[in-house]
Chain A
Amino acid sequence: MNEKTMRKSRWQTVIFLLIIITLTYLSSIITSFSFADGLATIPEALGWMTSNLMVTGESLDKLPNILEKLAETTFMSIAATTIAAVVSLFLGVLGSKTTKVNNFLSVFARFIASVSRNIPVVAWSLVLLISFGQNSVTGFLALFVGTVGFLTRAFIESIDEASQSSVEALTATGATYFQIVGKAVIPQCLPQMISWVLFMVETNIRNATLVGILTGTGIGYTFDMYYKMLDYNAVALVTLTIVITVIMVDLISNYVRKVIL
C-alpha cells in the first residue's frame, strides 16, 4: 500500500465518523430528544429509586410466593428452549446448504425461521394471548416461536460452516443421508449448537419476564401485580431475584461451555 492509498483510507474514516455524528445530531433534533436534559434527570431518578426501590423486611414475607413463580418461569423458559432446539435441529438440517434434501424444503425451513424471528417476541405474546387466552401455555408458545426462529438460523450457519468437507467425504464412501447427518454433521456441530441453546436459555429467562407481563403469567405477572399495587419494595425484591437467577444461569452455562468446547 502506498502513501496515497493510505491517506485516502484515512480520509474515508474521517468522513465516515462525520456522517455518523451528523446522523446522531439530526435524529436527536427530529425526535426533540436532548441528551443534556436526559442527563439532568438522572440524579432525581436515582434519588427516587434509592428511596422507593428498596427491599425491606416487610417485603421479604412475599419471598416464598415470588420464588415459586420465578422457578415456574425459569423451568418454562428452559422447556421452551429445549423443545424449540429439537424442532430447530430438524429445520436447521433441512435449511443448510450442505445437508438440504431439496431446494423447496430448504427455502421452506428458512422461511419459517425468518417469519418467527422477525416478528418480535412481544408481538407474538400479544397475538397468542388473543388466541390462547391468559395461561402459561401462551407464554410458553411465545418463547418457543421466537426461539425456533433464532436457533434455526444459528444451526444453519453452524452446519454450513463446520461440516462441508466431511459431508463430501462421507458421500464419496457411499454413506446414506441419515448416516452423514448423524455421524458427521451432528458430532461436528454439537458443541456450537449446545452453546447457542445455552445462550437462548439465558435470553429466554430474561424475556420470560416481559412475556409474563404481557400474557399475565409467571414472574412477569407477579412483577406487574406488585407494580400496579404501588408496592415498590416488592417490585425491588422481584427484580433482585430475577437478576440473581440470570447471573446464576449465566455462570452455569459459561461453565458448561468451557467443559464442552
Chain B
Amino acid sequence: MALLKVEGLGKSYTADKKILKNISFEIKAGELVSIIGPSGAGKSTLLRCINRMVEFNEGKIIFNNQEVGNLNKKELRHLRANIGMVFQHYNLVPRLTVIENVLHGRFGYKTTMQGLLGRYTEKEKAAAFHLLEKMGIHEHAYKRCDQLSGGQQQRVGICRALIQEPKLILCDEPIASLDPNSSKIIMDLLKSISTEMGITCLVNLHQVDVAQYYSDRIIGLNKGEIVFNGNSTELHEDNINRIYGTKTEDLITS
C-alpha cells in the first residue's frame, strides 16, 4: 500500500506557464526517494503541493488514504502535523534557543493557547532532548540558534520535523547550503531516519551522485514533467542527460 500517491498533478501560477504537468508517482512507506532536476524544474513546488503549502490546480494527491486537495482547515492542520518539513535555509527562529525551536514541531498537536503559553508535556520535552542527543547536538540545547553552524542548524531543523512524529518528511534541498562534511552528516541522518525509524523521506537534491548513493528511488524532473522514475541503479548517463538537458561531462557531478 502506497503511503503517498500523486495522480496527474498540475500546477500553474500564471495562466500561460505550467510549473508542473501531469505528475504521477507513488511512494511506499519507509522509502527514501530523491527528486532531481535543474533549477526551475518545479522540484520545490512539487514538494510544497504535498502538504498544500502551495495549492495545486489539477490532479490529486492521496496521503495516508486521505485526499489532500479536499481537506478543510482543521484536517489540513492535522495533515501538516503528520508531515515534517526540512528546508534549505533551515527556517528556524534564530533568536530562540535550540530546544524551543525543536518543540515548535509540536504546535500541530496543541491548542492555540497551549502553544502560545509554551506548555509542553514532560514527555515532549524528554523526546526533544532525546532527539537532540541522537543528532549529537544536545550540548547546544540552550544556545540561541544563530550561534550554531549551518550543519548544526539543519540538524535542529530535522529534530523539529522528527518531534512531529511524522509519517513523511519533505526535505527541500537540505544540503544545498552546507559544506561537504556537514552534507554527509545530514544525508546519513536522513538515511537512518528512513531505514531505522521507517519514516518516508522525499528529498529534493541538486547533486546526482548524492541522490544515487543514498536514495532507494530517484525521480527526475525537467520543465515540470517526470522524465525518469526508477531505482537509483537504473539511472544512467542517457537518463541524466534527459533530466538536465545536457551531456554528463558538462555537469559538475561531484
Asked whether A174 and B108 contact (CB < 8 A) given A169-B92, A187-B96, the answer is yes
Contacts of B83 in A (CB 8 A): 172
Q: Which of A167-199 contact B (CB under 8 A)?
A: 168-176, 178-179, 182-184, 187-188, 190-191
Whole-angstrom CA separation of A197 from B79 in the bound complex: 40
0/1 interface trace, chain A 21-54, chain B, CB 8 Å (1 if under): 0000000000000000000000000000000000
Complex formed: what's the CA distance from A32 to B106 in Å? 70
Set of chain A residues within 8 Å of B91, measured between Cβ atoms: 165-166, 168-169
Residues in chain B near residue A191, CB distance under 8 A: 95
Measured CB to CB, the nearest residue on chain A to B106 is A173
Q: In the complex the two chains form, what is the Cα distance from A173 to B94 in whole Å?
A: 17
Chain A residues touching B, range: 20 to 34
Inter-subunit contact A170/B92 (CB<8 Å):
no
> Which residue, B53, B90, B91, B157, has most C-beta atoms of chain A within 10 A?
B91
Chain B's closest residue to A174 (CB) is: B108
Q: Which of B99-115 contact A (CB under 8 A)?
A: 104-105, 107-110, 112, 115
12 contacts between A and B (CB under 8 A): A165-B91, A166-B91, A168-B87, A172-B83, A173-B81, A175-B107, A176-B112, A179-B107, A183-B107, A183-B116, A187-B93, A188-B94
Q: Is there contact, CB below 8 Å, between B93 and A184?
A: yes
Which single member of A169, A182, A183, A190 contacts B85 (CB below 8 Å)? A169
Number of A-B contacts (CB under 8 A): 82
Chain A stretch 199-251: residues in CB contact (< 8 A) with chain B? none
**Does B80 lie within 8 Å of A171, measured CB to CB?**
yes
Task: Kindly state whether residue B78 has any CB partner on chain A within 8 Å.
Answer: yes
Are B77 and A176 interface neighbours, CB within 8 A?
A: yes
> Could you tell me the distance in whole angstroms from the C-beta of A257 to the nearest C-beta in chain B?
15
Cα distance A174–B76 when bound, in Å?
8
Which chain B positions have C-beta within 8 A of A183? 93, 104, 107, 115-116, 118
> Are B53 and A173 within 8 A (Cβ)?
no
A172, closest chain B residue (CB): B85
Hey, which chain B residues are within 8 Å of A175, CB to CB? 104, 107-108, 115
A188 touches B85 (CB 8 A): no
Asked if residues B51 and A172 are in contact (CB atoms below 8 Å), the reply is yes
A184–B90 alpha-carbon span in the complex (Å): 14
**B95 to nearest A CB, angstroms?**
6
Cα distance A169–B96 when bound, in Å? 14
User: B50-82 toward A: CB 8 Å interface, digit per residue (1/0)?
Assistant: 010100000000000000000000001111110
